[in-house]
């Protein structure tokens, strides 16, 4: 403290007598300073660019239950729904408290849950897999107070796996007015997809998810994970997107409510060799589409479509900073054109280490084979001009401590014991925005308690799967008309 006081005194004296001396030496150029640690402002190649970081502030909430493979949604009342395992956790006070509102009808034990909040009708869906042949699709129209539901039988061919559900507008070329039917039963179309051994099956419901009688195989064969798929997305114009898990980034598209499907590939410059987890598509208010995935160099990449999925960029854009050399579980949502938010788990510290995989070969950044001294954190990347030719991406390392130490096992059949790693985080996280364009991220935290506070933690310590959430407490909305979102009062 005395040294600091002396320095301040010298600076004051220097200022007082500065007019009495002439500085004949060369001018010293001020040092260039970048964003603070954990903040990145990057261009479409992942490299730093000049410019101030967006004022993004996120608030954490502990859901209070285990929550691997979580889904998240927010109703117009502001109630948040975090669905994982057999739990439907609800918070109506901005994450201050949580309660399980699943009810006895839909509280089945499952390894593949899925939740969805219809952004038009506020209907909350809780989809639970019961065995390999039947799922229960439950819904609530009163913020989770009461639930009803029906079983969905996948038929005589076994395997009803990787279940997904979403909703979207009816189209005149599909089952809407002027299409196959003159009137839709429910305000929105409800889509339900799962995989069997033959591939991806998708169905459309006319009665709000009570029954699914129209649909069938849209993509196969389920070899080397080809039949697995990511989330379903429906655009405001009714275009539906499903992403299969294949080597070249691919999107399966329907413009007629699931009556017919076609597929498109994109971003072939950074293919995604197996094993990989799900890619995802988001659409904005003008039905522009943004497809993201983990690329061959382990960064998060994006291809864009401005014609409802018919054509896509073949040269993709890197969303994640180049300093983040390993990523997994990318999820995305969009508001107005060009305004997107993406979340993923990633590692920077690995770039500072001379790392080898389990076979002694140089580690290539694949999270499935990450060495024991690699730490993964939660990142959120924003862009307000993602449709521009030179978009800017603002990334925040949100979690102050690791979400996982060591490898993140990505395939259920070939996990290799690297420092005690296992599949505690399972297959995905989730990101959605509410009616104001505020971002909510659901994830499973694998490093809690002493693991989070001890910087010498090992993969054996990273065994948790705690249900966790971050939301944008202040910063720009993804809806331009809303402007800047302030903290909840």
The single-letter DSSP state of residue 362 is: B
The residue ranges of DSSP E strands in 412-483, in sequence order, are 430-433, 439-445, 466-476
- What is the structure's pLDDT at 22? 40
Tokens of 307: 């014609």
Residue 21 within a domain: no
Q: What is the CA radius of gyration of the chain?
A: 24
Other beta carbons within 10 Å of 120: 12
Q: Residue 458 half-sphere exposure, CB side, CA atoms within 13 Å?
A: 4
Note the pLDDT of residue 457. Answer: 93
Note the pLDDT of residue 153.
67
Contact 407, 368 (CB under 8 A): yes
Q: Does 429 fall in a domain?
A: yes
Question: Is this structure's pTM higher than 0.85?
Answer: yes
Smallest Cα–Cα separation from 254: which of 282, 228, 235?
A: 235
Let me know: does 366 contact 274? Beta carbons within 8 Å: no
In 393-465, beta strands by DSSP E: 393-397, 404-405, 430-433, 439-445
Full residue range of the structural domain in which residue 260 is found: 37-485
| Nearest alpha carbon to residue 330 among 369, 302, 371, 364 | 302
> Within 10 A of 202 (CB to CB), how many other CB atoms are there?
24
Torsion (CA) 8, 11, 16, 20 in degrees, nearest 10: 160
Examine residue 1 and state whether it is found in any structural domain, yes or no. no
The enclosing H or E element of 149 equals: strand 148-153
Count of domains observed in the chain:
1
6 domain-assigned: no
* 298/321 Cα distance (integer angstroms): 11
In sequence order, the 6+-apart residues with CB closer than 8 A to the CB of 474 are 55, 56, 57, 484, 485, 486, 487
Note the pLDDT of residue 100: 95
For residue 121 the two structure tokens come to 């009708």
Q: Is residue 24 part of a domain?
A: no
Helix (H) or strand (E) segment spanning residue 194: strand 189-196
Considering the domain boundaries, does residue 15 fall inside one?
no
The answer to whether residue 451 is domain-embedded is yes
CA distance 74 to 72: 7
Nearest to 167 by CA among 129, 219, 114: 114
Residues 458, 315: contact at Cβ < 8 Å?
A: no
Is residue 10 one of the residues assigned to a domain? no
Backbone angles phi, psi at 396, to 5 degrees: -120, 130
Identify the pLDDT of residue 161: 75
Beta strands in 29-77 (DSSP E): 39-42, 57-66, 71-74
- Here the CATH number for the domain that contains residue 430 is 2.130.10.10
What are the beta bridge partners of residue 404? 376
Is-contact 331 428, C-beta < 8 A?
A: yes
CB 473 within 8 A of CB 440: no
Question: Given this model, what pLDDT does residue 124 score?
Answer: 98
Residues of the chain with pLDDT under 50: 1-23, 25, 28, 30-32
Both tokens of residue 480?
């331009």
The DSSP call for residue 20 is G
Collapse the DSSP code of 202 into the 3-class scheme (helix H, G, I; strand E, B; otherwise coil) and give the result: strand
Distance CA 121, CA 181 (A): 21
Q: Are 227 and 150 in contact (CB under 8 A)?
A: no
DSSP assignment string, 101-116: ---TTS----SS-EEE
* CB atoms near residue 113 (< 10 Å): 26
Tokens for 172, please give them: 């005149």
Q: Identify whether the C-beta of residue 174 lies closer than 8 Å to the C-beta of residue 180.
A: yes
């Amino acid at each position: 403290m005395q040294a600091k006081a002396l320095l301040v005194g010298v600076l004051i004296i220097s200022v007082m007598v500065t007019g009495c001396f002439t500085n004949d030496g060369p001018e010293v150029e001020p040092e260039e300073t970048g964003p603070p640690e954990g903040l990145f402002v990057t261009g479409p190649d992942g490299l730093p660019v000049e410019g101030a970081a967006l004022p993004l502030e996120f608030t954490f909430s502990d859901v209070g239950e285990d929550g691997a493979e979580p889904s998240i949604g927010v109703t117009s009342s502001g109630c948040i729904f975090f669905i994982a395992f057999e739990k439907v956790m609800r918070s109506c006070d901005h994450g201050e408290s949580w309660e399980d509102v699943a009810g006895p009808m839909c509280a089945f034990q499952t390894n593949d849950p899925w939740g969805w909040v219809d952004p038009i009708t506020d209907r909350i869906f809780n989809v639970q897999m019961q065995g390999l042949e039947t799922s229960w699709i439950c819904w609530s129209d009163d913020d989770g107070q009461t639930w009803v539901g029906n079983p969905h039988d996948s038929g005589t061919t076994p395997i009803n796996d990787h279940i997904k559900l979403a909703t979207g507008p009816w189209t005149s070329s599909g089952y809407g007015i002027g299409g196959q039917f003159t009137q839709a039963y429910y305000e929105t179309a409800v889509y339900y997809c799962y995989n069997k051994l033959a591939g991806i099956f998708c169905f459309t419901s006319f009665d709000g998810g009570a029954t699914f009688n129209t649909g069938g195989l849209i993509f196969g064969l389920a070899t080397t994970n080809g039949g697995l798929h990511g989330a379903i997305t429906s655009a405001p114009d009714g275009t539906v997107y499903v992403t299969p898990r294949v080597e070249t980034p691919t999107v399966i598209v329907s413009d007629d409510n699931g009556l017919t499907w076609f597929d498109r590939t994109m971003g072939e410059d950074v293919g995604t060799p197996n094993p990989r987890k799900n890619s995802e598509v988001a659409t904005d208010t003008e039905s522009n589409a943004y497809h993201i995935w983990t690329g061959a160099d382990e960064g998060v990449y994006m291809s864009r479509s401005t014609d409802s999925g018919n054509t896509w960029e073949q040269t993709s854009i890197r969303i994640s900073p180049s300093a983040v050399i390993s990523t997994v579980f990318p999820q995305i949502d969009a508001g107005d054109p060009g305004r997107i938010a993406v979340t993923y788990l990633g590692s920077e510290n690995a770039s500072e280490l001379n790392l080898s995989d389990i076979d002694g070969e140089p580690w290539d950044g694949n999270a499935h084979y990450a060495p024991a001294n690699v730490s993964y954190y939660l990142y959120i990347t924003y862009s307000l001009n993602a449709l521009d030719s030179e978009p800017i991406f603002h990334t925040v390392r949100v979690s102050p401590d690791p979400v996982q130490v060591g490898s993140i096992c990505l395939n259920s059949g070939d996990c290799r014991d690297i420092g005690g790693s296992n599949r505690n985080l399972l297959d995905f996280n989730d990101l959605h925005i509410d009616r104001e364009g505020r971002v909510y991220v659901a994830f499973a935290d694998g490093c809690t308690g002493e693991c989070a506070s001890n910087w010498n933690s090992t993969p054996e310590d990273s065994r948790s799967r705690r249900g966790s959430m971050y939301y944008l407490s202040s910063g720009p909305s993804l809806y331009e008309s809303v402007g800047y979102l302030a903290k909840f009062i």
